[in-house]
């Protein structure tokens, strides 16, 4: 969008707000343990060897903050690449200092061609009608643009069909501006190893690999398995695998028998900012969906659905304060939640853990997601800009 003179957008100017610097007023923090993140990457790398690892860091690294993870990712440039979904994500990764290979796995609009091809990123290709415009944008490059052809093997989302693949490869070969370096698709139900669609997709993809080798005269890098495929379908590791949520120690939905030794590398926490002694019958929050059945203490925490806490967790979820679990009570509001701490010795400023470990107690992301009826991916991806990302370790 073009902005009239004298106006600005969020992308033109980013103010120093909480979650973006160390001086903001935010009192909700997503802490990422960089040492554990590093160990998770090592564990996955060793688990999939000799296949290579493509670490998918789309959607701001699933909400964990791509910029903060770049120093660790740069340690693995020799054997780990990064995958993103959009041109903006690729350019941001470059801008914050990532030095390794970036594969843009999603759709790139022609309006972004001139900008993205200068970045050195590898692009996905599957739209024949866009190839002439892409070739024109690449005319003055010093070396061919490297492409990964995306095949639709059953997801019915993005990708070229198997029938169209040979002709598409011949179209790409007509342009010296391109070099096909990869071939990939996406699994539909990798969390269920017995799903028939896995075998169907495997058959389609192996046919695509055969067609590509025949048309190109060489075999490009092939990648099909996602996090679930890494765990359930080792015969589909092929040349590379794409791992997203598993890198943070989160197991994707499904049934798995073999797991690399990864552990959660994060904690979501806030603090107590207000304390109320409540008489029996007193209601809490909007609509008074909860009433005290006896005299108790209710404390307030400065985080709410604007920060990414699903409102459906009202009167369901819990929080750890002082090493003990306490229930959230009343409806989750935009900026605040309340917890019933009974007669516990709780003070303003006490740490309150929403996801993670405190002492011997723990609230897992998986249990929070199940309680909300969501996938584990959805919780961190929804954490807003008021949530400060803090990186511990080096």
Which are the catalytic amino acids? Answer: 58, 286
Q: Give first-to-last CA distance, the chain, whole Å.
A: 39
Q: State how far the Cα of 354 lies from the Cα of 29, in Å rounded to an integer.
A: 10
Contacts of 301 (CB under 8 A, 6+ apart): 270, 271, 272, 273, 319, 336, 337, 338, 339, 352
Contacts of 385 (CB under 8 A, 6+ apart): 17, 18, 19, 20
Question: How far is 223 from 53, CA to CA, in rounded Å?
Answer: 10
Closest by CA to 223, choosing from 116, 122, 77, is: 122
Nearest Cα residue to 236 out of 48, 1, 11, 14: 48
Q: Which two tokens stand for residue 120?
A: 């050195």
Phi then psi dihedrals of residue 171, to 5 deg? -60, -45
Which residues on neighbouring strands pair with residue 192, listed in sequence order?
Answer: none
CA dihedral 380, 383, 387, 388 (to 10 degrees): 40
Q: Give CA–CA dist 376/369, Å, rounded.
A: 5
The answer to whether 195 and 189 have CB atoms below 8 angstroms apart is: yes
CA distance 84 to 184: 14
Question: How many CB atoms within 10 Å of residue 314?
Answer: 22
């Amino acid at each position: 969008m073009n902005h009239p003179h004298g106006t600005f957008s969020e992308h033109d100017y980013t103010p120093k707000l909480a979650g973006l610097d160390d001086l903001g007023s935010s009192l909700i923090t997503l802490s990422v343990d960089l040492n554990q993140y590093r160990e998770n990457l090592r564990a996955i790398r060793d688990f999939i060897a000799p296949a290579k690892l493509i670490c998918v860091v789309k959607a701001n690294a699933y909400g964990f903050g791509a910029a903060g993870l770049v120093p660790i990712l740069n340690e693995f440039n020799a054997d780990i690449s990064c995958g993103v979904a959009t041109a903006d994500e690729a350019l941001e990764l470059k801008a914050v200092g990532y030095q390794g290979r970036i594969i843009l796995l999603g759709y790139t609009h022609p309006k972004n061609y001139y900008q993205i091809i200068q970045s050195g990123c590898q692009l996905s290709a599957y739209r024949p009608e866009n190839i002439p415009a892409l070739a024109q944008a690449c005319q003055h490059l010093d070396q061919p643009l490297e492409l990964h052809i995306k095949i639709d093997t059953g997801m019915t989302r993005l990708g070229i069909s198997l029938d169209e693949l040979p002709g598409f490869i011949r179209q790409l070969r007509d342009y010296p501006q391109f070099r096909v370096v990869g071939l990939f698709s996406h699994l539909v139900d990798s969390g269920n190893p017995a799903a028939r669609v896995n075998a169907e997709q495997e058959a389609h993809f192996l046919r695509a690999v055969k067609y590509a080798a025949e048309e190109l005269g060489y075999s490009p890098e092939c990648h099909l398995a996602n996090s679930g495929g890494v765990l359930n379908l080792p015969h589909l590791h092929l040349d590379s695998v794409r791992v997203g949520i598993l890198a943070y120690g989160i197991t994707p939905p499904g049934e798995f028998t073999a797991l690399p030794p990864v552990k959660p590398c994060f904690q979501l926490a806030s603090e107590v900012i207000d304390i109320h002694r409540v008489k029996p019958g007193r209601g809490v929050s909007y609509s008074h969906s909860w009433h005290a059945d006896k005299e108790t203490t209710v404390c307030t925490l400065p985080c709410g659905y604007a920060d990414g806490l699903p409102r459906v967790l009202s009167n369901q979820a819990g929080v750890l304060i002082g090493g003990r679990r306490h229930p959230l009570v009343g409806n989750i509001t935009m900026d605040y939640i309340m917890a019933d701490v009974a007669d516990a010795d709780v003070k303003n400023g006490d740490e309150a853990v929403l996801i993670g470990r405190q002492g011997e107690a723990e609230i897992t992301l998986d249990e929070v997601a199940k309680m909300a009826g969501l996938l584990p991916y959805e919780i961190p991806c929804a954490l807003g800009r008021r949530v400060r990302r803090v990186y511990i370790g080096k």
